């Protein structure tokens, strides 16, 4: 690796604090990442020195704010290898980006009898909008099954996608299983049948190199807060010709060219989809997060996380009473370890971890259909990022042992199938 995660940790102020009298071990990165000082300081500097609304002002502060936001948009485009910054639409988060596609594209182009193909591992944000659309339009939802090992059944996918398929929408990496899906293969399958494609890259983009031109999808959605950026800012990337063909999502200021009492004409993309005052400070600070990740390099981020994941899987297996969900090979998954300890409720597991200063997640992870497929009410989840170390993985193992000690798990208890 060309970076030292121990040195990186110094850039993240929150990692120096104590939790319950113990040094913080932050293993909840799939929910949101921590922020480096450069991101925090740039947002602070914006409000202290440049704060003004964008586009409409002729004074210096407005011009500075507009230029800073345009520069940040260009950074996102370069990070994704997008053809143009005009393909970058700012939203509040990935959820809003996915809803934007459902409302602005789906309501115009999906008709009764059309089929929308999703997967059984989708986050609710890439499921509920399509349920609403299908109920309104009379479209049919179909699902690519998940295998017991946590991967997609590609043979079934080939049967699900057909001449009536209008859209194939799927997560690039599961937030609940860590599964890295075969993005190129799924996109190629959709194109064979002329279907549009949407990739939920919320878990992918923070951890692996993203090249939207190489993918050649139609839509890609993700959030800033999972990749060192602020909350309240997300991105929808889409091909410009598709954005131009879509109806607006929200109506109001800045998304228009001319407004009459009975009609309006709309701004060029991406501004056509950015009604009202956007999260200017968040977008600008997200540019600093992009700078930080670009300086480290996404290939090194990925290599580091494979090392952490490999060791975490070993630790869980050594305990012998821990059920881990998802692929067993660290190269086939992201740094997400969803697990259960014997028959202990995941929330109880999370509280025991917290008592030792270790932050993990517990629940259904906004994937209730997947939890039902796994025949569990939920899981505990540890997730890693670039500032985590092998010592953090050791803390993960310490938490597992503390859970078993606290609940007096007998040696003969076997992990659930």
In which element (H, E) is residue 383 found?
Answer: strand 379-383
**196 DSSP assignment:** E
411 within domain boundaries: no
pLDDT above 90 coverage of the chain, percent: 96
pLDDT at 289: 98
**320 pLDDT tier (thresholds 50, 70, 90):** confident
Residue listed under structure tokens 């859970």: 403
Q: How many CA atoms lie within 13 A of 127 on its CB side?
A: 15
- Domain membership of residue 413 (yes or no) is no
Q: Which of 91, 89, 131, 95 is nearest to 110 (CA)?
A: 131
Question: Are 67 and 21 within one domain?
Answer: no
Residue 417 lies in a domain: no
290 and 301, same domain (yes or no) = no
| DSSP conformation class of 415 | P
Kind and range of the H or E run holding 140: strand 140-144
Which residues are designated catalytic?
A: 366
The confidence score (pLDDT) of residue 412 equals 55
Whether residue 416 lies inside any domain: the answer is no
Query: Is residue 414 in some structural domain?
Result: no
Residue 415 included in any domain: no
Would you call 307 helix, strand, or coil by DSSP? Answer: helix
Same domain flag for 17 and 96: no
Mean pLDDT taken over the chain: 96
Q: Are 85 and 74 in contact (CB under 8 A)?
A: yes
pTM (2 d.p.): 0.96
What mean pLDDT is predicted for residues 18-30? 97
φ and ψ at 332, to 5 degrees?
Answer: -100, 5
| Number of compact structural domains in the chain | 2
| 3-state secondary structure labels for all residues of 241-297 | HHHHHCCCCCCCCCCEEEECCCCEEECCCCHHHCCCCCCHHHHHHHHHHHHHHHHHC
pLDDT digits (tens, 9 = 90+) for 141-174: 999 999 999 999 999 999 999 999 999 999 999 9
Radius of gyration of the chain (CA): 22
**Which is nearest to 141 in space by CA: 161, 117, 120?**
117
CATH number at residue 135: 3.40.640.10
Residues 230 and 111 in one domain: yes
User: Of 234, 268, 295, at which residue does a domain stop?
Assistant: 295
In this structure, are 325 and 398 located in the same domain? Answer: yes
For the chain, the maximum distance between any two Cα atoms, rounded to a whole number of angstroms, is 75
Given 295, 317, 343, the domain boundary residue is 295
Domain co-membership, 27 together with 45 = no
C-alpha separations of 240 from 49, 106, 281 in Å = 34, 16, 25
Q: Given pLDDT bands bounded at 50, 70 and 90, which one contains residue 1?
A: low
- The pLDDT tens digits for 281-296 are 999 999 999 999 999 9
Tell whether the model's pLDDT for residue 414 goes beyond 90.
Answer: no
Mark whether 94 and 211 lie in a shared domain.
yes
Print the domain residue range for 64: 40-295
Same domain, 267 and 215: yes
Strands 379-383 and 361-363: antiparallel
Same domain as 201, residue 72: yes
- CATH code: domain of residue 352: 3.90.1150.10
Examine residue 257 and state whether it is found in any structural domain, yes or no: yes
Confidence of residue 410 (pLDDT cuts 50, 70, 90): confident
CA-closest candidate to residue 309, choices 205, 367, 371, 388: 388
Task: Mark whether 89 and 146 lie in a shared domain.
Answer: yes
Q: Are residues 257 and 334 in the same domain?
A: no
pLDDT at 417: 46
Q: Are residues 384 and 273 in the same domain?
A: no
Cβ neighbour number for residue 86 with a 10 Å cutoff: 16
Q: Say if 369 falls within a structural domain.
A: yes
- Of 267, 295, 323, the last residue of a domain is 295
């Amino acid at each position: 690796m060309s970076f030292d995660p121990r040195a990186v940790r110094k850039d993240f102020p929150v990692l120096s604090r104590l939790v319950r009298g113990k040094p913080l071990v932050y293993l909840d990165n799939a929910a949101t990442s921590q922020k480096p000082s450069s991101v925090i300081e740039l947002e602070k500097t914006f409000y202290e020195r440049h704060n003004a609304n964008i586009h409409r002002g002729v004074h210096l502060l407005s011009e500075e704010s507009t230029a800073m936001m345009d520069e940040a948009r260009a950074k996102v485009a370069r990070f994704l290898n997008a053809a143009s910054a005009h393909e970058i639409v700012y939203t509040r988060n990935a959820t809003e980006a996915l809803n934007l596609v459902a409302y602005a594209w789906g309501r115009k182009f999906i008709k009764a009898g059309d089929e929308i193909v999703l997967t059984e591992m989708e986050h609710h944000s890439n499921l509920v909008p399509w349920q609403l659309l299908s109920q309104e339009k009379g479209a049919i939802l179909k699902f690519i099954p998940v295998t017991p090992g946590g991967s997609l059944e590609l043979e079934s996918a080939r049967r699900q996608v057909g001449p009536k398929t209008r859209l194939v929408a799927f997560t690039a990496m599961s937030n609940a299983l860590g599964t890295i899906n075969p993005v190129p293969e799924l996109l190629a399958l959709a194109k064979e049948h002329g279907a549009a494609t949407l990739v939920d890259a919320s878990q992918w983009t923070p951890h692996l190199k993203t090249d939207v031109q190489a993918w050649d999808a139609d839509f890609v959605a993700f959030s800033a807060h999972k990749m060192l950026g602020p909350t309240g800012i997300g991105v929808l990337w889409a091909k410009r010709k598709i954005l131009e063909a879509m109806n607006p999502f929200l109506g109001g200021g800045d998304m228009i060219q001319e407004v009459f009492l009975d009609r309006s004409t709309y701004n060029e993309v991406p501004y056509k989809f950015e009604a009202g005052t956007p999260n200017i400070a968040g977008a600008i600070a997200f540019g600093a997060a992009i700078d930080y990740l670009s300086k480290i390099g996404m290939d090194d981020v990925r290599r580091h996380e494979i090392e952490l994941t490999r060791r975490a899987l070993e630790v869980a297996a050594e305990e012998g009473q821990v059920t881990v969900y998802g692929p067993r090979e660290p190269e086939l998954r992201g740094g997400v370890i969803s697990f259960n300890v014997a028959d202990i409720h995941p929330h109880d597991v999370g509280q025991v971890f917290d008592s030792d200063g270790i932050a993990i997640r517990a629940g259904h992870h906004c994937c209730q259909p997947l939890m039902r497929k796994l025949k569990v009410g939920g899981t505990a989840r540890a997730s890693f990022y670039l500032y985590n170390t092998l010592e953090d993985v050791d803390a993960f193992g310490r938490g597992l042992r503390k859970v078993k000690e606290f609940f007096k798990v007998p040696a003969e208890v076997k992990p659930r199938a």
